[in-house]
Amino acid sequence: MPKNVTALPDIATSPERPPLFSRVGTFMLTVGMVLAFFISQLVGVYSAGKLVLPATKNASMGDIFFFGSNDGTVVSLSILIGCVLLMTTSVLIIRIRGGEWRQYLALKPFSFTVGMGMLGLLLIFMIVSQALTYMLDMTPLVFVDPLYQSVSSVWLLVFAMVVVAPIYEEVIFRGILWSAIKEQFTAPSYSVVHHGAIVASIVTSLIFATIHVQYGIYEISTIVVLAFIFCYARIKSGSLLLPIALHIINNGAAMWQYLAQAA
């Protein structure tokens, strides 16, 4: 990452350029992408289950979903499949609307100084979160147990959950949805300079937390805070690459801790 690169103006959502989506279009996009998120998971589990699970020829769709969602290899492959589907969908939607997808998703370099500052903020969050988890005797990664025990290769599970999942989650929530919502509330008529960014951050963070249905209330509340950190990184850097990097670091630290305890 270039050391002297400063946060660039968000070309896709600047006041000079009309919004890529209307208010109604933004609402439909938000609902559609959330549905696409879950549908891609179902498609991924079913497709991977047909390939990996034994005796699926006569198995019902319900059986494939039930056994596949608890199989580490199936879930890992479904994450890879879902990533391809969601990334492709996001790019196609932006291009169909006449936008340049790299600009709209803010896939550009970010400042090294900003990156280090946000990494420090993430580390503080991780330390505080870990302390609370220990004091409250929580086990947020208990859902990983059946996946870890059944996966054909631990490295496949690590790659899927640590690297692949953060990429497409950021593209959706801090990428296309964040930009679409922000541009609806970015205009000279708003007195708050970052009004659009604030609204986009609140909406996408809440949605991002609630889709993590595998977690409990405590874990979801910490995910909200984590999502705000990713949004802040998006605002400060003007780039989606920084939230992706931070997301990977967070998931990597959590997975490393889980593997250390499971060994």
**Above pLDDT 90, what percent of the chain?**
72
Average pLDDT over residues 119-129: 96
Read off the pLDDT of residues 140-183 as tens digits, 9 standing for 90 and up: 777 899 999 999 999 999 999 999 999 999 999 999 999 999 99
Read off the pLDDT of residues 43-78 as tens digits, 9 standing for 90 and up: 999 999 999 998 777 788 888 999 999 999 999 999
pLDDT at 183: 94
Lowest mean pLDDT among 2-6, 32-36, 52-56, 150-154: 2-6
Residues 115-150: b if buried by 16+ CB within 10 A, e if exposed = beebeeebeebbeebeeebeeeebebbeebeebbee
User: Cα(226)–Cα(212) distance, rounded to whole angstroms?
Assistant: 13
Q: Place 15 in a pLDDT band, splitting at 50, 70 and 90.
A: very low
pLDDT at 189: 56
- How long is the chain? 263
DSSP 235-252: HHHS-SHHHHHHHHHHHH
Q: Place 6 in a pLDDT band, splitting at 50, 70 and 90.
A: very low
**Above pLDDT 70, what percent of the chain?**
90
Whether pLDDT at 234 is above 90? yes
Q: Quote the tokens at residue 173.
A: 């929530």
Which position has the token pair 């879902």?
82
- Computed over every residue of the chain, the mean pLDDT equals 90
Q: Place 192 in a pLDDT band, splitting at 50, 70 and 90.
A: low
Non-local CB neighbours of 161 within 8 Å, separated by 6+ positions: 76, 79, 144, 251, 255
